[in-house]
Amino acid sequence: MPHLTLEYTSNLAHRAPTSELLLRVHRLLESAAGVPIGNCKSRWQAREAWAAGDGAEESAFVHLDIRLLEGRPLEALQEVGKGALGILASHFLPPVSGAAPQITVEIQEIARDQYFKEPEGTLAPPPVT
């Protein structure tokens, strides 16, 4: 934990993310939210089937879903969200080749008593607030 899922429209394939882009978000989670970096897991995928706005050819989007265990202060979550948005904007903007993406980040907290992990001892303790 946390799990990061990045989706982007296929018309942004010329700006396809690399692992380094998500590793920057891992480091942000470590510094801003106290997440052990070794627990971060990311995946990304271009979406071939999608619709955005009025369907104009230049429509595009990038969305990062960050799921992490509950218990961090709101300020830390906001720092992660705004920081991740900045990281994505620096990668996907300014628009080129006509595609002008909207970039969004959503942070979802998972209840500790509803998350299970093996090996069990690798689950980080609740953060100290």
Q: Is the pLDDT of residue 67 over 70?
A: yes
Per-position b or e across 42-56, b if 16+ CB within 10 A of its CB: bebeeeeeeebeeee
pLDDT in tens, 6-25: 999 999 988 899 999 999 99
**In this predicted structure, what is the pLDDT of residue 128?**
64
Q: What is the pLDDT of residue 126?
A: 67
Candidates 1.25.40.10, 3.40.1710.10, 3.30.429.10, 3.40.309.10; CATH matching 3-122: 3.30.429.10
Nearest alpha carbon to residue 4 among 118, 82, 106, 91 = 106
When pLDDT is averaged across residues 71-89 and rounded to a whole number, the result is: 97
Side chain identity, residue 30 = E
Q: What is the pLDDT of residue 100?
A: 79
Q: What is the DSSP letter of 54?
A: T
Cis peptide before 119 (omega within 30 of 0): yes
pTM: 0.89
Q: Delimit the domains of the chain by residue range.
A: 3-122
Query: What is the model's pLDDT at position 34?
Result: 94
